[in-house]
């Protein structure tokens, strides 16, 4: 069975209109989560529900742009549908049957994965994926990808990079996965380059743990000065 990055869902407005929804693109998720933070400041259920309706209004910029105000949200969506939108848009689950206040549920469930929007280093993730060269700028990237799409693309890119390194190492007769579990502290790619550098320069025996194989910037980083000013050939 084919795998899915995420599921598309449908909601039905009070007037019978069917809308397809999916995780928010990063562009809208930023605004959604900035508004969501105001839930922590809510002092009553009315304030909480007002913030919730405003979050859904932001989500509608992606799903149904004609719905422009919180009044539109309150007039066209019942409470279970609002909860469903919040769940699909930002993966924040609210159980309408729970005795726990909605405010507490929203705060607790937004951190259910062990991290929060505030701690997510989104800039770092976007910078790594931006090197694919598909987007003109970061605004375009954020308008085209959700967090789930970003992460699965990033995972695929890292896997492809690793396979490329594995292939290049194999050309040099090196299995970068050999003894992987017994020596996790050694980066196989760096170890391979150290062996090649040692063979080409005639220094050391090709063992990545042999300090005589450390040269140039690598030597400086490791605290040695052997061969400073020398370098190995760039194999890439």
Higher pLDDT, 155 or 232: 155
- Mean pLDDT, residues 216-228: 51
27 contacts: CB under 8 Å, gap ≥ 6: 139, 142, 143
| pLDDT class of 95 with cuts at 50, 70, 90 | confident
Q: Report pLDDT for 69.
A: 95
- Mean pLDDT, residues 64-68: 95
Task: Judge whether 220 and 231 are in contact, CB under 8 Å.
Answer: no
Query: Does position 49 have pLDDT exceeding 80, yes or no?
Result: yes
Q: Report pLDDT for 214.
A: 52
Q: Report pLDDT for 219.
A: 52
What's the pTM? 0.63
- Mean pLDDT, residues 114-143: 81
The dihedrals phi and psi of 9, each to the nearest 5 degrees, come to -120, 165
pLDDT, tens digit, 9 for 90 and up, residues 177-199:
775 555 455 555 566 556 655 55
Higher pLDDT, 179 or 106: 106
Beta bridge partners of 21: 9
Higher pLDDT, 161 or 73: 73
Mean pLDDT, the chain, whole residue set: 77
On the 0-12 / 13-18 / 19+ scale of CB atoms within 10 A, 55 is: buried
Q: Report pLDDT for 22.
A: 94
Q: Report pLDDT for 63.
A: 96
């Amino acid at each position: 069975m084919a795998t899915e990055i995420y599921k598309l869902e449908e909601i039905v407005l009070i007037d019978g209109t069917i809308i397809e929804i999916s995780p928010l693109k990063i562009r809208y998720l930023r605004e959604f989560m900035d508004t969501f933070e105001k839930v922590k400041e809510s002092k009553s259920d009315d304030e909480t529900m007002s913030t919730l309706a405003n979050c859904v209004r932001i989500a509608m910029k992606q799903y149904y742009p004609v719905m422009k105000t919180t009044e539109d949200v309150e007039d066209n969506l019942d409470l279970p549908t609002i909860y469903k939108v919040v769940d699909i848009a930002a993966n924040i689950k609210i159980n309408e049957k729970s005795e726990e206040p909605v405010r507490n549920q929203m705060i607790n469930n937004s951190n259910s994965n062990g991290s929060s929007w505030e701690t997510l280093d989104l800039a770092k993730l976007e910078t790594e994926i931006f090197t694919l060269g598909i987007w003109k700028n970061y605004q375009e990237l954020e308008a085209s990808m959700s967090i789930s799409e970003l992460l699965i693309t990033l995972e695929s890119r890292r896997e492809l990079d690793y396979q490329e390194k594995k292939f290049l190492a194999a050309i040099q007769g090196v299995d970068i996965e050999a003894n992987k579990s017994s020596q996790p502290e050694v980066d196989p790619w760096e170890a391979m380059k150290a062996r090649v550098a040692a063979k080409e320069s005639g220094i050391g025996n090709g063992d990545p743990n042999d300090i005589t194989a450390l040269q140039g910037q690598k030597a400086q980083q490791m605290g040695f000065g052997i061969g400073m000013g020398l370098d190995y050939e760039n194999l890439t």
